[in-house]
């Protein structure tokens, strides 16, 4: 049984997203004989080495053959297993698109696909490993739940929740090792239910993934400038928590989405599509990656290139309000 304590959240933060995946995987395999872990030659990188040692018959390595991995996951799901397949998000979303479309979207098989190093998590390896379009791809496929956890604690909670869901699910892991901590103690996590983190009156920032931390820091900067901000963690991008959206649209002057993803088709696009169908007089802004690939570099360098640091987010909001 995983205990969510202040000490454990610090440990998971140091391990980073892949380490948190490994913690959740070990728990799931120990508790449920139907859970299997599939990897595309990334067992060590996915934090699955301990699982490999303790449960060697529950981990399957498909090599660098991601399409085959999803096809096999479909077969395992048909036989009643709960397959968790993990690979780089850049490969999961695009290289496996056909297999996902058939096995997850059309057949509605309960495959759980984990996208490692989404956004800038592997930016040091260059554009080939930057997944800046995965949400857009996954959102466009019917029947697939899309989750972007805010920190390592939420990664673990989202994996445990996904294991208990019958829906095909994509979980994108963002952030560096020493991931900023959002949740220092246990909290209620439910797929499709956003979590309000800060309450304000002027601006509501809706974020997903590890940039939730940058958004919280931006709210502090704006508060010093006399701008009252709410911050909402919209960890589930599909289906959106429309009840939460209705609430913040009516109570704020400006809605701002923040994401470690292209400004096309991601969280911002999902929220914009919802607002467009409503007759609300509310300002709206999408903060994310513009139409380019950043130069190779570490996580924080790429955040700055893309205008996603706390200071840059706060400056965008000040400009928008002026």
* String of DSSP letters for 96-123: THHHIIIIIIIS----EEEEETTBTTTG
Q: How do residues 65-96 score in pLDDT, each as one tens digit?
A: 999 999 999 999 999 999 999 999 999 999 99
Q: How do residues 145-187 score in pLDDT, each as one tens digit?
A: 999 999 999 999 999 999 999 999 999 999 999 999 999 999 9
- Nearest by Cα to 203 from 223, 189, 180, 183: 223
pLDDT exceeds cutoff 90 at 320: no
**Same fold across 6-172 and 195-321:** yes
Residue owning tokens 């914009």: 272
- Nearest by Cα to 122 from 259, 16, 12, 208: 16
Q: In what order do the strands lie in the sheet with 169-172?
A: 59-61, 35-39, 82-88, 112-116, 169-172, 145-147, 236-238
| Beta-ladder partners of 232 | 196, 206
Confidence of residue 261 (pLDDT cuts 50, 70, 90): very high
Domain 6-172 is classified in which CATH homologous superfamily? Thiamin diphosphate (ThDP)-binding fold, Pyr/PP domains (3.40.50.970)
Q: Determine if residue 259 is left, alpha or beta; phi over 0 gives left, psi from -120 to 50 gives alpha, anything else beta.
A: beta
Task: Tell me what percent of the residues of the chain surpass a pLDDT of 70.
Answer: 100
What are the residue ranges spanned by the domains of the chain? 6-172, 195-321
Q: Do 105 and 77 form a contact (C-beta atoms < 8 A)?
A: no
- Nearest by Cα to 40 from 87, 91, 104, 74: 87
pLDDT exceeds cutoff 90 at 293: no
pLDDT exceeds cutoff 60 at 130: yes
pLDDT exceeds cutoff 90 at 139: yes
**Which of the residues 27, 66, 133, 285 is marked catalytic?**
66
Q: Do 131 and 266 form a contact (C-beta atoms < 8 A)?
A: no
pLDDT exceeds cutoff 60 at 243: yes
Please confirm, yes or no, whether 260 is among the known catalytic residues.
Answer: no
pLDDT exceeds cutoff 60 at 254: yes
Distance CA 133, CA 139 (A): 10
Q: Do 145 and 239 form a contact (C-beta atoms < 8 A)?
A: yes
Output b/e per residue, 41-68; b: 16+ Cβ within 10 A: ebbebbbbeebbeebeebbbebeeebbe
* CATH tag for 195-321 (out of 3.10.620.30, 3.30.70.270, 3.40.50.920, 1.10.150.120): 3.40.50.920
Q: How do residues 14-45 score in pLDDT, each as one tens digit?
A: 999 999 999 999 999 999 999 999 999 998 88
What's the mean per-residue pLDDT of the chain? 95
pLDDT exceeds cutoff 60 at 322: no
Distance CA 117, CA 45 (A): 10
pLDDT exceeds cutoff 80 at 321: no
Which pLDDT belongs to residue 294? 84
CB atoms within 10 A of CB 164: 10
| Beta-ladder partners of 86 | 39, 114
Q: Where are the extended beta strands (E) located within the chain? A: 35-39, 59-61, 82-88, 112-116, 145-147, 169-172, 195-198, 203-207, 229-233, 236-238, 254-262, 283-289
């Amino acid at each position: 049984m995983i205990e969510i304590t202040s000490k454990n959240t610090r440990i998971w933060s140091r391990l980073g997203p892949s380490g948190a995946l490994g913690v959740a995987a070990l728990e799931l395999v120990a508790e449920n004989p139907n859970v299997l872990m599939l990897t595309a030659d990334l067992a060590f990188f996915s934090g699955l080495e301990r699982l490999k040692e303790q449960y060697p018959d529950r981990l399957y390595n498909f090599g660098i053959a991601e399409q085959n991995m999803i096809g096999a996951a479909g077969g395992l799901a048909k036989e009643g297993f709960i397959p968790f397949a993990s690979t780089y998000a850049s490969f999961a979303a695009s290289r496996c698109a056909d297999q996902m479309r058939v096995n997850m979207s059309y057949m509605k098989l309960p495959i759980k696909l984990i996208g490692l190093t989404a956004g800038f998590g592997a930016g040091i390896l260059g554009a080939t490993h930057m997944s800046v379009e995965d949400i857009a791809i996954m959102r466009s496929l019917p029947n697939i739940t899309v989750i972007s956890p805010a920190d390592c604690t939420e990664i673990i909670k989202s994996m445990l929740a996904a294991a208990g869901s019958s829906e095909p699910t994509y979980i994108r892991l963002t952030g560096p090792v020493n991931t900023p901590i959002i949740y220092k103690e246990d909290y209620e996590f439910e797929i499709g239910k956003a979590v309000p983190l800060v309450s304000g009156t002027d601006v509501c920032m809706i974020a997903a993934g590890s940039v939730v931390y940058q958004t919280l820091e931006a709210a502090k900067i704006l508060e010093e400038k006399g701008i009252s901000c709410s911050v909402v963690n919209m960890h589930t991008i599909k289906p959106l928590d429309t009840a939460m959206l209705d609430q913040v649209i009516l109570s704020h002057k400006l809605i701002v989405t923040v994401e470690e993803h292209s400004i096309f088709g991601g969280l911002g696009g999902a929220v914009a599509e919802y607002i467009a169908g409503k007759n609300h007089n509310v300002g709206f802004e999408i903060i994310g990656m513009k139409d380019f690939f950043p130069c190779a570099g570490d996580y924080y360098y790429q955040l700055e290139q893309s205008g996603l640091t706390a200071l840059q987010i706060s400056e965008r909001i000040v400009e928008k309000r002026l």
